[in-house]
Chains A and B, each alone.
Chain A
């Protein structure tokens, strides 16, 4: 194993391969290998290099035993609840040579490939979670069973900037057909990393048999016995010659178009995966594995993968340990919630509080009509959930019993948390909060969903300003995971701690920010949209500006985003940021004109974007000093880097990680940028903006 030596100098949590012989009912002997890292359920099995080498050794041993007819079959299964959660990637981001990255692919192929070269049939009993490399163990074997209660089965590699490099890209389409394989390898990872249930995996043909959990292993062994006796296993989705000849290619093309439409051309991994899947149509397994090795080498060495792993860790780990959070013991228990305002935004988060906190929620507004409308909206949303089977009628009854509306603020008297989403004007906020303070107790936390006003300014008229915090949701509330918790100058630790616990109960990721204009997300988006409008006002067309910024690979171009948030809202954000700092933040009078006109994009009958509205183009025309695409793009990159550096210096948030987490979870910015700061470092913008970098060392791939 000398050739894999470069992978072995680390403290891997090894998943061991235990071998026990099982005498089946027929008298045949099956060698049962159990993968177990000896840790409890908080540490799933992972497949690092030492793990794979030991598995390879054990498989070689079984091959030798099989040659002497000591055993008639080999099976692999996992520890309770887990087959394996994938390759151990913890040391991969530190790899500095292309060749070393390639070794990971080769080692996986080497070890798992042995499962089809044992001389006797091989089985994998998918007893639990099987992701990425874990599922690839199963794909490399001859036969598979799955436990009905296995929580998730997937090949999520594309989600984090990789591809299934241990046989998955070749074996899966050849097992379950091209369309099913495209769904598993490309579509699902790009749909918020969706995974398969055991039943779905069985129906797709990933597993040949499915058994209930109570006797999963016993039933799998009995089934294996039948297979060894000659029972035929039918695979109804296995592709035939016609599928390869007529469907394979077109299906990949369609998938390619869908990826391009959804994500643009910038992310590498989905296209790399599509290339591999396309090539798997023909040729030998060895050729397929060699292509995967090439792809793994390239992806592991790529900047995008390093940024994606960084982003993945932010979302999985950093989000759970928020920077600057006070001791959670200080948080007050929230047993009743008040919501001021019954408009759409307020109703959305009233619904969220209702469902997640499961405590009484009182909604108020200025008219009974508005209140009734908001309450009805929430009831309708609950009914939709019941209709979809996602909420039982008992639980719906419970939530409806908890929901009430009132014209009188007195209904808030026993609330522990009151949040407002009224009109964005300071005098109105003052009025609302003073009235509320008259009825609630001194410890009740007051929260504002404001996106453009200062919490400090709001606190000025309060008797107990220490209980006021900002609690900024993103649209749509049900989907966007971020909440910006704004700690104003006077906000107490208790208020902030309570806000953090509330965010956690709402299943949101909370990032604490200072009371600076735009907090994090709106400040950065405001800068971006401002620069886009500046370029347009200078004379570049919408199309030219969108194309200039396209290499960033954002989920949508600035103008699509403007129309989505609303032109009036967009104009307001730009105005607020301009008021904060007129040098750096551009406000556009043309944008106001567009907002009055009301339209920017031209859509067809189905609502699909056709192009830019002719009148809109006319409104913004007239500029004669258009910059080139390169100038626009570089200006934006350097400007963003400079602005974010200022935000860190001003301590709007604690770290660059917080900035990136906010942009990923509040604006949907992609993993391949690492949020934004890893990208700004690697494209040289940070160096140009402030002579340094956000990360040391920079989050980059291998530089040849």
Chain B
């Protein structure tokens, strides 16, 4: 085996839908959503022979029913990949797809693989958070993990506790800006470029889904002010400053430098480093901070070197805690230029590849930016960060 550089060639996703029986994907299977992303991605890359794919890694946070059955394997069969292509399922809750990417990248990096697909799917309508959860009684009996830590909204309220200067007002403003940036990105045609349209069955006939269902471009700070705080009486976390419950799937094509040469692929970004780190489960939202410090150190970079950041917006407060730590303004232009999870949704395991796809797209139109980062927080107290180099830097491809 011979080690090699690893590249993000391309990423796609389904439009994201609202979880629950009123959502557009209620009558669509989770694995079918993932199948659409595999087919859609490979359609865009006829230069990649399917039999050359070394593995398919697909993540979901709740691997049961239509989201179980060794996802990477069953989805590739359903997507028509040759039976000779293997696959596997992977789980790191919200950072599932991110971990799928880092795992296949590790295999490519050491030279065991040359090309792989990595992505995630989460149908939160069919599989609500916490469904079937059976926490070990020792968590409570030995005070290892506070039971409130298993409710994500509570952890967000606790970040407000820890940093009283990060106010509800700031969270609300951030939520509104996410909506506005997403609306502008759609208006400029950026998002549509990497969406795979999905036909969705419903009790009233077929629909074709071409746009995220949950967008609220008309959000205002005034409108968010009096929203209910479901996690605490008179709390700070609302539907306006948190990501909604979502159905959706993502998929990426990752290749090593030898495959790039062999199949004449056009990489969008090169992986420089990645890191995962643990934090107290009760404030899981601060996970991106230690993960980022570790990944930057491994890449030999500082935060100021990073010209574009895609940070998952599970909750506005958790993004603010990250920005606050690194001394970045709430409205810094580098952050989530095309809007984030608050506007589009957060189908748990799938989100990591959405961040990468958006970063890759921003790299393309910003050749002056050399380094970027994708980072996210993870339930039960973790963070994950990947540092990337723009393959379009200086106009080079």
Q: Are B234 and A335 in contact (CB under 8 A)?
A: yes
Query: Interface segment, A285-293, A390-398, A514-522?
Result: A390-398
Choose from B161, B232, B234 the contact partner of A394 (Cβ within 8 Å): B161
Contact between B164 and A149, CB atoms less than 8 A apart:
no
Given contacts A335-B234, A394-B161, A395-B161, contact A149 B142 (CB under 8 A): yes
Contact indicator B141/A394 (Cβ below 8 Å):
no
Distance (whole angstroms) from the CB of A402 to the closest CB of chain B: 7
Q: Which of A376-413 contact B (CB under 8 A)?
A: 393-395, 397-398, 400-402
Q: Mark B276-304, 1 if CB is under 8 A from A, else 0.
A: 00000011000000000000000000000
CB of B225 closer than 8 Å to a CB of A = no
**A213 vs B233: C-alpha distance when bound (angstroms):** 36
- C-alpha gap A358/B161 in the complex (Å): 12
CB distance from A386 to the nearest CB of B (A): 13
Smallest Cβ-Cβ distance to A393: which chain B residue: B162
Least Cβ–Cβ distance between B284 and chain A, in angstroms: 13
B269-327 residues with Cβ-Cβ distance < 8 A to A are 282-283
A223 within 8 A of B: no
**Interface contact A213-B162, CB-CB below 8 Å:** no
Q: A213 with B161: in contact, given A360-B234, A394-B283, A402-B234 (CB under 8 Å)?
A: no
Tally inter-chain residue pairs, CB-CB below 8 A: 35
| Given known A-B contacts A81-B141, A213-B142, A394-B158, A401 and B233 have beta carbons under 8 A apart | no
Q: How far apart sit A360 and B138, CA to CA, in the bound complex (Å)?
A: 32
Q: Is the interface of A mostly helix, strand, loop or mixed?
A: helix
Query: Which of chain A's residues have a CB closer than 8 A to the CB of B157?
Result: 398
8 Å CB interface, B78-110 against A: none
Q: Which of B141, B142, B161 is the one whose CB lies under 8 Å from A397?
A: B161
By a CB distance below 8 angstroms, the chain B residues around A400 are 164
For chain B, the bracket of interface size reads 10 to 19
Interface residues of B in 126-155 (CB under 8 A from A): 138, 141-142
In the complex the two chains form, is B233's CB within 8 Å of A397's CB?
Answer: no
Question: In the complex, which of the residues B157, B232, B283 has the most CB atoms of chain A within 10 Å of its own CB atom?
Answer: B232
Q: CB distance A359 to B233 under 8 Å? A: yes
A355 at the interface (CB under 8 A from B): no
Q: Is the CB of B164 within 8 A of A401?
A: yes
Tell me the interface secondary structure of chain B in the complex.
Answer: helix
Chain A residue nearest in CB terms to B138: A213
- A672 contacts the other chain (CB 8 A): no
Q: A397–B282 Cα gap in the complex (Å)? A: 15
Which chain B residue lies CB-closest to A360? Answer: B234
The interface residues of chain B lying within 8 Å CB-to-CB of A395 are: 161
Closest A residue to B143 by CB, please name it.
A149
Name the contact of B162 in the complex, choosing from A149, A335, A360, A397 (C-beta under 8 A).
A397
Chain A residues closer than 8 Å to B161, beta-carbon distance: 394-395, 397-398, 401
CB-CB under 8 A from B282, the residues of chain A are 394
Min distance, Cβ A126 to any Cβ of chain B, angstroms:
15
Residues of chain B lying within 8 A (CB to CB) of residue A50: none
Pick the contact of B233: A81, A335, A394 (CB < 8 A).
A335
Q: How far is the CA of A336 from the CA of B233 in the complex (A)?
A: 8
Q: Measured between alpha carbons, how far is A305 from B157 in the docked complex, in Å?
A: 50
How far apart are A498's CB and chain B's nearest CB, in angstroms?
15
A213 to B142, CA, bound (A): 9
Cα(A155)–Cα(B162), bound, Å: 41
What CA separation (Å) do A81 and B140 show in the bound complex?
A: 12
Q: Which of A213, A360, A398 has the most CB of B within 10 A?
A: A398
Least CB distance, B96 to chain A, in whole angstroms: 27
The smallest beta-carbon distance between B302 and chain A, in angstroms, is: 29
Interface string of A358-379 (1 = CB under 8 A from B): 1110000000000000000000
Question: What CA separation (Å) do A336 and B229 show in the bound complex?
Answer: 14
B234 touching A336, Cβ below 8 Å: yes
Chain A residue numbers with a CB within 8 Å of B233 are: 335-336, 359-360
A5 CB to closest chain B CB, in angstroms? 40
Q: Is A397 in contact with B164, judged by CB distance below 8 angstroms?
A: yes
Chain B neighbourhood of A336, CB < 8 A: 233-234
The residue in chain A whose Cβ has the minimal distance to the Cβ of B233 is A335
Q: Report the separation of the CA atoms of residues A149 and B232 in the bound assembly, to the nearest whole angstrom.
A: 31
Q: Nearest Cβ in chain B — how far from A156, in angstroms?
A: 21
Top 10 nearest A-B pairs (CB, nearest first) are: A335-B233, A398-B161, A394-B161, A149-B142, A397-B161, A394-B162, A360-B234, A359-B233, A397-B164, A394-B158
24 intermolecular pairs with C-beta atoms under 8 Å apart: A81-B141, A149-B138, A149-B141, A151-B141, A213-B142, A335-B233, A336-B233, A336-B234, A358-B232, A359-B234, A360-B233, A393-B162, A394-B158, A394-B161, A394-B162, A394-B282, A394-B283, A395-B161, A398-B158, A398-B161, A401-B160, A401-B161, A401-B164, A402-B234
Q: 20 extra interchain contacts, Cβ-Cβ under 8 A, other than A359-B233, A359-B234, A398-B158?
A: A81-B141, A149-B138, A149-B141, A149-B142, A151-B141, A213-B142, A214-B138, A335-B234, A336-B233, A358-B232, A360-B233, A393-B162, A394-B158, A394-B161, A394-B282, A395-B161, A397-B161, A398-B161, A401-B161, A402-B234
Residues of A within 8 A of B (CB): 81, 149, 151, 213-214, 335-336, 358-360, 393-395, 397-398, 400-402
